[in-house]
Amino acid sequence: MKIMEPRFVDTIPRELEDGVLYFAMEYGTVLHKCCCGCGSEVNTPLSPTDWNMKYDGKKVSLSPSIGNWDYHCRSHYWIIENEVVWARSWSQSEVEENRREYPQVKIETDGPKKMRDKNLFIRIWDWLA
């Protein structure tokens, strides 16, 4: 299980470290290096129509999932309590269909139903409910 370390920063570092989630609250955004290891830098802005974060003082979760459709790797994952939870990669038509249906949401998740871990499913359910 890959773990992401949350780090709150005042300025966005020039070089992002692998395995670190940078919370640049001043800019209202979260940055990290793609969890697949491809080196792409992923920017997930925080807003009511973008991503939401949950931080309990130790562990951080981001919602919805992160789908790197614009990068070569097309990786797709959740960050839940600092853990990277891999999700199925979508085909281009699925991505486009989703963008048509939910234009307000830049990247929509395929939902916790894909999770194999039942506890995780329940935790996410509790969180969304």
Q: Could you give the C-alpha distances from 68 to 56, 83, 122, in angstroms and in order?
A: 26, 17, 25
In whole angstroms, the minimum distance from the beta carbon of 84 to Zn ion comes to 11
Nearer residue to Zn ion within complex by CB, 38 or 105: 38
Q: Does 65 bind Zn ion (CB under 5 A)?
A: no
Q: Does 73 bind Zn ion (CB under 5 A)?
A: yes
Instruction: Please state whether the peptide bond connecting residue 64 to the residue before it is cis, i.e. omega within 30 degrees of 0.
Output: yes
Residues of span 27-46 touching Zn ion by CB under 5 A: 34, 36, 38
Q: Does 120 bind Zn ion (CB under 5 A)?
A: no
In whole angstroms, the minimum distance from the beta carbon of 36 to Zn ion comes to 3
Beta-bridge partner residues of 106: none
Nearer residue to Zn ion within complex by CB, 106 or 123: 106
18 within 8 A of 3, measured Cβ to Cβ: no
Nearer residue to Zn ion within complex by CB, 61 or 75: 75
Q: Does 75 bind Zn ion (CB under 5 A)?
A: yes
In the complex, which residues of this chain contact Zn ion (CB under 5 A)?
A: 34, 36, 38, 73, 75
